[in-house]
Structures are given as C-alpha cells and as structure tokens.
C-alpha cells in the first residue's frame, strides 16, 4: 500500500488513543491521519506527530479516500459501518468482536498467524485482549509440544470496559475512602454500584465479564470468545477450552492463569526455553527471587510477560503458567497497528 490515508475510528476512547500513540511511536508510514468518534466527541482535537488533529463525526461517506481504517467503536457500529467501507475499497482492522468468528474474515495475531491475511476481503479482525494475552505463550508451546486441552482463568482490568470502566473504579475508590469498617462488614446499601459493572468493583472482584450466554450454558460471552478465538488463531477447531473470566479492580493489564495439556511431554525448563525464543513474549520467572509478572509490570509494554511456569506432579504432559499483557496495547491497539504494518507492505495489497 505504501504511504496511506489512515483513519482511526473511536479515536477518543481508551483503545483509539493508544492506537494514535502507537502509530506515532512506530513511525507508521502514512500520508494523512483522519480521526473519527461519536457525535459527542466531534470537534475535540488530539495530538499526532506534534500537530493537533480535529476529531470528526461519522457520516455516510466517512471512508471516502481512506485506504486503511483502524476501528475501535464497538460491535454494533462496526457491523453498520465496516461492510460499506470495505465494499468501497477501504481495508478495515476491527477491534470489536463483530467479525472475529466469520469464516470469511481473518482473525490475526501477527506473531502467530500472519499468513491468514492473504485472503482478506477488506476486513481483518483484531483479537480479544485476553485471548491474545493467552495466545502469545500458547502458540510457541503448541509448536513445540502440541496443545491438546486448555483451562484458563483470566483477571481482567476495568479498562477492558473502556474509559468509563476506569472512571467507575476511580469514583468508587474515592467514595469508599476511609470506610474500612464498611468494607470489612459490608452493608449492601453503602456499597456504590455504577452503570458499567453489575456489582461494586472497588476492592472487589466480579466473576462476570460481559453478559451471560443467552443459550443458558452458564458461561459469559467473554468466556466463550476465549475458546472460539484461540481455536481459530491456532487452527485447532477441536481444541477443548474451558474459560473463566473475572473483572478485577486494576486499571490496566489482564492476567491469565493457564493449565494446558500437550501431546508431548513437557517440563518447566523446556517450556521456558520455547518461550524465551518467542517474539513478543518475555519470561519473568524466578521463584528464588520472587520474580513473576503482574499487571503493573506489563503496563505500557509491548511484550506479554510470562511466569509461574510449573508442572503438576501427576501429569508429565501438563503445564501451568501465568501470563500478563497490557490490554490496551498488545491486547488491542498494538496488535491492530502490527496488522496494519503487514497490510502496508506492497505484497499485502497486491
């Protein structure tokens, strides 16, 4: 594609702002950056490469002259605006779940399955932030040992719900400041509940991310995404995946506890060796020095951090680990920009 006219849709949101920052950090080859957001954000200005850029509202022909769009506007808006843009020749990298499981849309994590981009039809799906965090260590382990089954528990920060999630946590922490006795013996009436999360998120954890499956499986839609996306990216349609997703009172960074079983025997040390050579993965695993990853360690980083690598005593084919990634960067904005970089190569647009 060469130098392009690039749009960021959802530019004022948490992921959109991170997309703009990463485009600048990585010196993405663009001729013009065009920013779009909802009507309430129209007229705001955001900085890019030392210049102030206006935020526009979306209209019917927003995609006119746009070569590449990085879209982070939610599934409903994505379904409405992206197909028309793709039909007009704009290539769209969508951060929502709208097209991820569409068999005609590639779901791409560049370090793992960049070859899937070859058949795109103007829409490329960016993965779920937690699935990407798990996939980054799982893919090299699968290549080495052959993945058979997977159990995950994810601990997801409030920024997974956007800027409004961060604000709700901050407001609740402020309201509860100095009320330690209330926290120890909670009076339900004294605990603030906002509009974003179904329970108080400050000083609490909520075992519900997104909605419960309307089909009555007992899983949440976030948990179902985890299995579907891991299977699609790894090309393992029969892989057994059982996921639990928990919202935690952390601003940025998703953690994933993984219990994986493999075809081949695996040891903690052989797993570390496989992970040390993997792009986008950093091993932080030394129990003697209490070295392990936390969300604060991962905040602002491009790499996914992996630690607590260990093997159950009763299963030589199983491995346990804990992975942490910045959900706004590798879990969303960085992965989208990496996809855009691949699309910008001349061969990708041929």
Tens-digit pLDDT profile for residues 305-325? 999 999 999 999 999 999 999
Asked if 231 and 237 count as a contact pair (C-beta separation under 8 A), the reply is: yes
- Cα angle 308-309-315, degrees, rounded to a multiple of 5: 125
Q: What is the pLDDT of residue 350?
A: 40
Task: Give the DSSP letter of residue 125.
Answer: E
Q: What is the pLDDT of residue 349?
A: 47
Asked if 310 and 260 count as a contact pair (C-beta separation under 8 A), the reply is: no
Q: Give per-residue pLDDT as tens, 122-180.
A: 999 999 999 999 999 999 999 999 999 999 999 999 999 999 999 999 999 999 988 87
Instruction: Label residue 154 left, alpha or beta by phi (over 0 means left) and psi (-120 to 50 means alpha).
Output: beta
- Residue 254 known to be catalytic: yes
pLDDT band at 189 (very low <50, low <70, confident <90, very high): low
Query: What is the rounded average pLDDT of the residues 107-122?
Result: 96
- How far apart CA 12 and CA 8 sit, in angstroms, is 9
CATH 3.40.50.10810 fits 131-327, yes or no: no
pLDDT band at 2 (very low <50, low <70, confident <90, very high): low
Catalytic-role residue among 129, 142, 177, 209: 129
In the chain, CATH 3.30.360.10 covers 131-327
Sheet strands (E) in the chain: 4-9, 30-37, 45-48, 51-57, 68-71, 91-94, 107-108, 123-126, 147-156, 240-247, 254-262, 281-283, 304-310, 318-325
Structure token pair of residue 58: 């979306």
SS3 335: helix
Quote the radius of gyration of the chain (alpha carbons, Å). Answer: 21
Edge-to-edge strands, sheet with 254-262: 240-247, 147-156, 254-262, 318-325, 304-310, 281-283
Across-strand partners of 123?
A: 92
Mean pLDDT of the chain: 95
The CA-to-CA distance between both ends of the chain, in Å, stands at 8
Query: What is the rounded average pLDDT of the residues 107-114?
Result: 98
Catalytic-role residue among 53, 120, 142, 254: 254
Q: Give per-residue pLDDT as tens, 250-284.
A: 999 999 999 999 999 999 999 999 999 999 999 99
- Residue 53 known to be catalytic: no
Query: What is the rounded average pLDDT of the residues 55-77?
Result: 95
| Least confident span in 134-138, 285-289, 295-299, 343-347 | 343-347
Which CATH superfamily groups domain 4-127+332-349? NAD(P)-binding Rossmann-like Domain (3.40.50.720)
In the chain, CATH 3.40.50.720 covers 4-127+332-349
């Amino acid at each position: 594609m060469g130098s392009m006219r690039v749009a960021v849709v959802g530019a004022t949101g948490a992921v959109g702002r991170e997309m703009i920052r990463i485009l600048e950090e990585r010196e993405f080859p663009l001729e013009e950056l065009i920013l779009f957001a909802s009507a309430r954000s129209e007229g705001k200005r955001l900085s890019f490469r030392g210049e102030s850029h206006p935020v526009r509202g979306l209209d019917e022909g927003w995609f006119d002259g746009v070569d590449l769009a990085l879209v982070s506007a939610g599934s409903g808006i994505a379904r409405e605006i992206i197909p028309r843009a793709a039909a007009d020749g704009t290539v769209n990298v969508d951060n929502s779940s709208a097209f991820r499981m569409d068999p005609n849309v590639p779901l791409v994590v560049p370090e793992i399955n960049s070859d899937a981009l070859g058949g795109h039809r103007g829409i490329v799906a960016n993965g779920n932030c937690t699935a990407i965090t798990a996939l980054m260590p799982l893919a090299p382990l699968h290549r080495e040992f052959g993945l058979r089954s997977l159990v995950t528990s994810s601990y997801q920060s409030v920024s997974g719900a956007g800027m409004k999630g961060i604000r709700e946590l901050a407001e609740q922490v402020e309201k509860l400041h100095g009320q330690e006795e209330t926290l120890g013996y909670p009076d339900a009436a004294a605990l603030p509940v906002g509009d974003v999360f179904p329970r108080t998120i400050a000083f609490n954890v909520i075992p519900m991310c997104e909605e419960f499956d309307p089909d009555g499986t007992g899983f949440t839609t976030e948990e179902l995404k985890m299995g579907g996306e891991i299977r699609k990216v790894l090309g393992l349609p029969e892989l057994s995946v059982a996921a639990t997703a928990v919202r935690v009172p952390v601003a940025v960074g998703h953690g994933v506890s993984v219990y994986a079983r493999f075809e081949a025997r695996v040891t903690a040390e052989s797993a570390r060796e496989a992970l040390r050579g993997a792009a986008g993965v950093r091993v932080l695993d030394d129990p003697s020095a209490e070295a392990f990853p936390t969300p604060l360690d991962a905040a602002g980083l491009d790499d996914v951090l992996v630690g607590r690598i260990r093997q159950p005593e009763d299963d030589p084919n199983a491995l346990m680990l804990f992975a942490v990634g910045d959900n706004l960067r590798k879990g969303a904005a960085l992965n989208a920009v990496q996809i855009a970089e691949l699309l910008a190569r001349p061969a990708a647009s041929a």
